[in-house]
Chains A and B, each alone.
Chain A
Amino acid sequence: MILKGVTLPNGEVTDVEIESGCISSIKRTTSSGLDCDGLVLLPGFVDLHAHLRQPGFEESETVLSASQSAAAGGYTTVFAMANTEPTQDSPATVQYVSCLGEQVGLVRVRPIGAITKGLQGKELAPLAAMAASSAQVKVFSDDGNCLVNVDLMREALLEVKKFGGVIAQHAQDHQQTVGAQMNDGKLSIELGLTGWPRAAEEQIIARDVELAIETDSRLHVCHVTTAGGVEVIRWAKAKGAKVTAEVTPHHLLLNEELVRSYDPVYKVNPPLRTEEDTFALRRGLLEGTIDVLATDHAPHSKERKECEWQSAAFGMVGFEIAASVLFKVLILEGEGDWNDFARIMSIKPSEIGGLTKIGNPVEGSVADLVLFDPTTSRVISKQTHSLSTNNPWAGLELPGRVVHTMFQGRLTVKDGELVG
């Protein structure tokens, strides 16, 4: 197959030929092929943080529906969070999830292993065994159950260091967030909703980067949301800590003012912060303090969101808007370029997740590719390919669109539609 007239991240316009799942040549040809005039060619996106909900919560999402939604968003690799039922805390479960992904075959599904058994924060899960399994787990996280126990955290960092793994921490000091519902501040007081102090996030990040320095092991900070959090990570990187960080599309673009509607579609953990925080996160991303965009795609069935704010579940869907949000804040409104875009969406996340052979498209590399149209814009509909509709982006107009997605040389999305 030949992709005709693609624009490379560096601006060059050329043709790309795909043979047996790999890029065989990048040069102008006279042969005909798929017209990609005006489309930017990027490496397939890699999402380090998503909830696929299978096994255990199939009413919200399955590996199939999540893979479809991810492919539609330009993803070719998705890291599946460990909070399934049963928990992804054993070789058997991670291999099962990995197999489900292979059966669907739309994206590469890489399970994240739980750090502790059952996400209980009491006893380490068999990390090395999960790493050695066919699922090749490299990323470990207790997700929303932030690992507060300092001894276990240190032990986990030392354990993953042996096989080049990474601990991904959802930074939240639970003592400070009992019953918390939204960002702590004037607005939470006005709305009568329990506040979620910034310190609850920042002090865990601060402690963890110290541990990462002490153990010389790799720490990945999940979904940073505060200006202070960005500062702590900047400091840690300057000290040479092996720390990386992610930000979500919603924390880049949405802010706490939306909570005024009391619509639980805006309820998310960690919470939407202030507009100033969104600006600090954008700067952090551009300068590289924050390494990657990760969706924290968190589908929930209707009844978990159609209820009182305090009873509602935390989380929102995100696969199908992520690229547009980044395009808007990084390129249209920021000073980033397509190389930054590829670094944030694909190259860095694949490095952090321990994947091989994913980078800027070159001859010989695996044909995991996205063709993105930066000239169009679209109004987001509530229903996406996800089984769930907890979609705060519904009705908003966002720039750009994923036109084609290619996974291992095969089109999974063509002209915005799923293939087969």
Chain B
Amino acid sequence: MKHLVSIRDLSRQDALSLLSSAQELSQVNERSIKKLPTLRGRTVVNLFYENSTRTRISFEIAAKRLSADVINVSADSSSVTKGESLKDTAQTLEALGADCIVLRHPTSGAAHQLANFGWINSSVINAGDGTHEHPTQALLDALTIQQKLGEDLSEMKVLIVGDIRHSRVARSNAILLGMLGARVEFAGPDSLVPIELKNLAASISNDFDVSIANKPDVVMMLRVQRERMLENFKDSQREYINQWSLSRERLQKLAKRTLIMHPGPINRGLEISPEAAEDPRSVILQQVKNGLAVRMAVLHRLLSEEQ
């Protein structure tokens, strides 16, 4: 395995083996000396064309725990049309010794291009491309579910709620969790959950309360991007909250063992109430922890096999 661009690049076996290696590596994060020498002398570049402090830090710490050298490059995506091209930037970074480029980019397909167009030889990890995919997020979500509800995800009901249309998190999760046997349901207003999405998920719902009544094992709330929501959801923000927020009332209707997940950063009071975020069933911080483990596993897989 050389790149991780899309969950579709993984076989079920690949995914399970990455998850179990992440589970092992997560032990490292509990030690007092949180470091392995595995990637000593290797260079990982975080090339971010979009601001995402959380994801960038997660990749940075993951690489450092494996003793890789880490360089952070934040590129202005407005320079995409005028300044240096993605190809030139990537080739420059490779000439400087990058073994792996972790790419966050606002354009769908950018990581695919970097990995497959023959521009560079380095490994490429997709840290989120446009509204396409975010594979490490899906892996960390799967790991979190496994830890809390058991390794076998067969027939597990996962409800993903919000702006599915523009969510790379939802896409990657639906593909991965579906591959691992879970039944994924997308829920959200029609304009944000178009019918064309139905081949990605087992089912589509346009009523959050009906979906909750079906007793999901996991409720994953997506972050609402305010500008985008206002553009696509024609009703008011209040209306959105009434219909689609994980409110106190809805929280009470969730079963005891239902997990509450969110890729973060959360908008308290918008898609998720403070009570829900802080509920014992919420595993939001566990997701953050598992992000480290999963990214260590992916870096390890891509860079140590290459050696």
Contacts and interface: CB of A to CB of B under 8 A. Distances in A.
Given A307-B80, A308-B80, A192 B108 contact: yes
A308 B107 contact: yes
Interface string B159-191: 000000100100100000000000000000000
Interface string A273-309: 0000000000000000000000000000001001111
A188 B196 CA distance: 9
B80 A185 contact: no
B78 to A, nearest CB: 11
B113 interface: yes
Contact of A308 (B110, B196, B197): B110
A189 B86 contact: no
Contacts of B165: 189
B141 interface: no
B113 A262 contact: yes
The main secondary structure of chain B at its interface with chain A is: mixed
Nearest to B165: A189
Given A192-B171, A307-B86, A307-B87, A186 B107 contact: no
A186 B194 CA distance: 9
Interface string A297-336: 0000001001111110000000000000000000000000
Interface in B122-141: 129-133
B107 A309 contact: yes
B107 A311 contact: yes
Contacts of B109: 191-193, 262, 308-309
A190 B108 CA distance: 10
Given A303-B85, A309-B109, A263 B196 contact: no
Contact of A306 (B80, B87, B105, B107): B87
B112 interface: yes
Interface string B71-89: 0000000001100011100
B197 A191 contact: no
Contacts of A310: 107-108, 130
B117 A263 contact: yes
B200 interface: yes
A311 B80 contact: yes
B197 A189 contact: yes
Interface in A131-166: none
Interface residues on A, range: 10 to 19
A188 B132 CA distance: 10
Interface in B83-105: 85-87, 105
A55 to B, nearest CB: 23
A261 B200 CA distance: 19
B108 A185 contact: no
A263 B112 CA distance: 9
A307 B85 contact: yes
Given A307-B80, A308-B86, A192 B168 contact: yes
Contacts of B199: 186, 190
A186 B86 CA distance: 28
A400 B116 CA distance: 32
Interface residues of B, number: 27
A261 B105 CA distance: 17
Contacts, number: 61
Contacts of A193: 108-109, 130, 132
Contacts of A262: 108-109, 112-113
Contacts of A303: 85
Interface in A159-209: 185-186, 188-193
Contacts of B108: 191-193, 262, 309-310
Interface string B193-221: 01011011000000000000000000000
Interface in B47-61: none
B113 to A, nearest CB: 5
Contacts of A185: 196
A188 B108 CA distance: 10
Residue of A192, A306, A311 with most partner-chain B CB within 10 A: A192
Residue of A186, A262, A307 with most partner-chain B CB within 10 A: A262
Contacts of A311: 80-81, 107
A188 B197 CA distance: 10
Interface string A217-242: 00000000000000000000000000
A164 B171 CA distance: 54
A192 B80 contact: no
A190 B196 CA distance: 9
Contacts of B110: 308-309
Contact of A192 (B85, B113, B129, B194): B129
Contacts of B133: 192
Contact of B196 (A186, A192, A306, A309): A186
Nearest to B198: A186
A309 B110 CA distance: 7
A189 B107 contact: no
Contacts of B105: 308
Contacts of A192: 108-109, 129-133, 168, 171
A193 B117 CA distance: 19
Nearest to B49: A308
Contacts of B80: 307-308, 311
Interface string A92-128: 0000000000000000000000000000000000000
A21 B117 CA distance: 49
A308 B119 CA distance: 13
Residue of B108, B117, B171 with most partner-chain A CB within 10 A: B108
Contacts of A309: 107-110, 113
Nearest to A259: B109
A207 B198 CA distance: 33
B263 to A, nearest CB: 16
B140 to A, nearest CB: 20
5 contacts: A186-B196, A193-B130, A262-B113, A311-B81, A311-B107
Interface of B: 80-81, 85-87, 105, 107-110, 112-113, 116-117, 129-133, 165, 168, 171, 194, 196-197, 199-200
The 10 tightest CB contacts between A and B, nearest first, are A262-B109, A192-B132, A192-B108, A192-B131, A308-B107, A189-B196, A186-B196, A310-B107, A262-B112, A309-B109
Interface of A: 185-186, 188-193, 261-263, 303, 306-311
Given A309-B110, A310-B107, 18 more contacts: A185-B196, A189-B197, A190-B200, A191-B108, A191-B132, A192-B108, A192-B109, A192-B129, A192-B132, A192-B171, A193-B132, A261-B112, A262-B112, A263-B113, A303-B85, A307-B86, A308-B109, A309-B108
